[in-house]
Each structure stands twice: as structure tokens, then as C-alpha cells.
Structure 1
Amino acid sequence: MTSADTHNQSFRAPLPVRQPVVNPVPPQDRTVMRPPLDADRTLETLSRIRDQVDQVAGLLVATHDGLVLAGDTTTVEADSVAAMSAAAAGLATQFTAQAGIGEPRCAMFEGSSGYVCVFPVEGSLLLVVFGQPDITMGLFTLAAKQALTLLRQATVDAARRSPAAE
């Protein structure tokens, strides 16, 4: 039997049809809160993280509405990346809700010479991690998650040190 014969065969069973999702997961409340770190402290934290984590080419922290809080990058336009990171996080939230797979943990993009990943840090912050050009996806994932863990710890430490929320 040739591929032409297979193509011309009529199948009796119809293809399965997807049913619409009845109760998609609603997007997480993204109430904008005062970031626990100020811009100067965040930049210091990003520099420390970049020194500690191998294979990271740059880091940027943005608010959930796409504004730069701090960036330790050299080759990207921080304002544009911050705006795109907010869009990527929003799209990831809609995509995972529609797919029924829960809250997004990140939005990762692979380019011809590297990776970039957007992580929600907490309700109002996003972390953008850029991988070095020669990194593999597995190593980048580990490095990016290590950077995320270090930033989350820094935000927790800062919240403990700061006076009670107003």
C-alpha cells in the first residue's frame, strides 16, 4: 500500500473533537503591591545573584505592569524587555488557564543563540533571566531557577527587615 492509497482511504470514525473548557482556571489576582525591594537594593541583589550563578548573562526585575525596577544587563533595552516580560507573563497566564494546567511557573523563549525566561517572583514583580549564548536548555533552566530562588529569598529577607506594611 502506497502513501497515496492511504491518503485516499475513507475512515469511518470521525476525528475526535475537543470540547470547550467549562470552568477554566481564573487568572491569579495580580494586585499591584509596593515591591519589598527598592530599585537600588534590587540592583545590588541582581549583581550579587549574577556573580553567584554561572551561565547567566543578565537579569532584570520588572513590575507586573511592565516597568523596570532594576536591571543588570548590558545588551538589551531594559524598558522594552520589561514591557515584553509583562506581556509574556500575561499570555502565559491565559495560555495555562486555557490549557487547564494551573498557574504558569515561567515563560521561556529559545533563540538561535540563547534563552530568556520570565518568572513571576511575587504578586507585583517579574524576574527576567538571560542565558549566555553557549548554554544548554537544561543548564539554563537550573541557572534561571537558582537566580529566582535567590531573588525570592532576598525579597523575603527585605520584607522581614522593613517596617510593617502600611
Structure 2
Amino acid sequence: MTSADTHSQPSRAPLPVRKPAPESTGPPPDRAARRPPLDPERMLEALREVADQVDQVAGLLVATHDGLVLADDTEAVEADSVAAMSAAAIGLAAQFTAQARIGESRSALFEGSSGYVCVFPVEGSLLLVVFGQPDITMGLFTLAAKQALTLLRNRLPAPGGSHRTPPPPE
């Protein structure tokens, strides 16, 4: 078959046409729009309170799913780069767990030669990045990181705008 033959053959079916989206009555749904805006100063205060309550945590950072820093309580960490990488890491973790058929991703954990870092989806469009101290074991770090996540979730405003009641002291 020559190129001339290809052009002279009749078309089998018309190409599909993109249909316009139906008109909506309001703005598109946005997970972040359901909750009051988070104040970076209050978020930093919450991070510091969490860090004071959890042993073996070297730093905490809250980022958006877009990779932007909302608040960070870290030292010697380039917060903007970490926030961008945390968004990529949690996206990759979701794809990886889906392909491995092990359920919904709950975190992305990385082990370095001198510590650990874990990224958690908090709720809505927030991510929590937890850094472990250099001499912590993986088991202790996992416990500390999950404790930090729980404490931070308890300090966030509820979707209706009211604050959650922290659990009673143990």
C-alpha cells in the first residue's frame, strides 16, 4: 500500500467530537473550600506544640498537595524543596500502592543513612512531613510520626469551622 492509496481510502468512522461540559450552578467543588482558611501562624504554633509533645521528632512541616509550604518547624532543611518533593512522594506512593494492590496509601516513608522522613496526607489538601532524629529506630520513628499526625489532626479546625476537642489526657 502506498501513501497515495492511504489517502484515497474512505474514512471508516467520523472522529469523536469533544462535548462541552454541562453548565454548573456554582463553583467547582474544592476540598479546601469546605474548611476555613488555615492561618500559617496558627499552623506553626500547632507544629511547635506537637513537636514539644512527641519524642524523637527532629522537625515537622505542613505543605499543600500542590507542594507549597504552609508552615515548618525544621532546622537545616530547605522547606520549599521538601514541600515540593513531599507532594510528589505522596502522589507516587498512591500510584505504587494502587499498582501493588495493597489498598489506599497512608504514607510515604524514607530511610536515610542518618534518619527517617515520612509524608502523611493529613486531610483536605494538607500533607505532614515528619523528620526523625538521627539515632531513632524505624519502629520508634513510625510510632512518633503517627503520634505527631494524630496530634496535628486534633489541632486542625473541623470542616464546619469549629475546633475539634482534643482527646482527654492519659
Give the TM-score taking structure 1 as reference length. 0.75
- After the TM superposition, which residues 66-145 of structure 1 pair with which residues of structure 2 at under 5 Å, given as runs? 66-145=67-146
Q: CA offset at residue 107 of structure 1?
A: 0.2
| Matching residue of 1:51 | 52
| Aligned with residue 160 of structure 1, among 136, 159, 162 | 162
Amino acid at match of 2:87: A
In structure 2, distance between residues paired with 1:86 and 1:39: 18
Deviations 1:57-79 (A, max 9, x none): 00000000100000000110000
In structure 1, distance between residues paired with 2:42 and 2:56: 23
Give yes or no for contact 1:32–1:64 (8 Å, CA) kept in 2.
no
| Matching residue of 2:32 | 33
Q: CA offset at residue 97 of structure 1?
A: 0.8
Amino acid at match of 1:160: S
Max radius of gyration: which structure? 2
Q: Which runs of 5+ in 1 are unaligned?
A: 1-30, 162-166
Provide the secondary structure at the position in 1 that maps to 2:122.
Answer: strand
In structure 1, distance between residues paired with 2:117 and 2:96: 18
Q: CA offset at residue 92 of structure 1?
A: 0.4
Q: CA offset at residue 32 of structure 1?
A: 4.9
Amino acid at match of 1:116: V
Give the TM-score taking structure 2 as reference length. 0.73
Q: CA offset at residue 156 of structure 1?
A: 4.0
Name the count of aligned residue pairs: 133
Q: CA offset at residue 123 of structure 1?
A: 2.2
Deviations 1:126-154 (A, max 9, x none): 00000000100010000000000001111
Provide the secondary structure at the position in 1 that maps to 2:32.
Answer: coil
Provide the secondary structure at the position in 1 that maps to 2:130.
Answer: strand
Amino acid at match of 2:138: M
In structure 2, distance between residues paired with 1:136 and 1:51: 20
Question: What's the Cα RMSD here?
Answer: 2.0
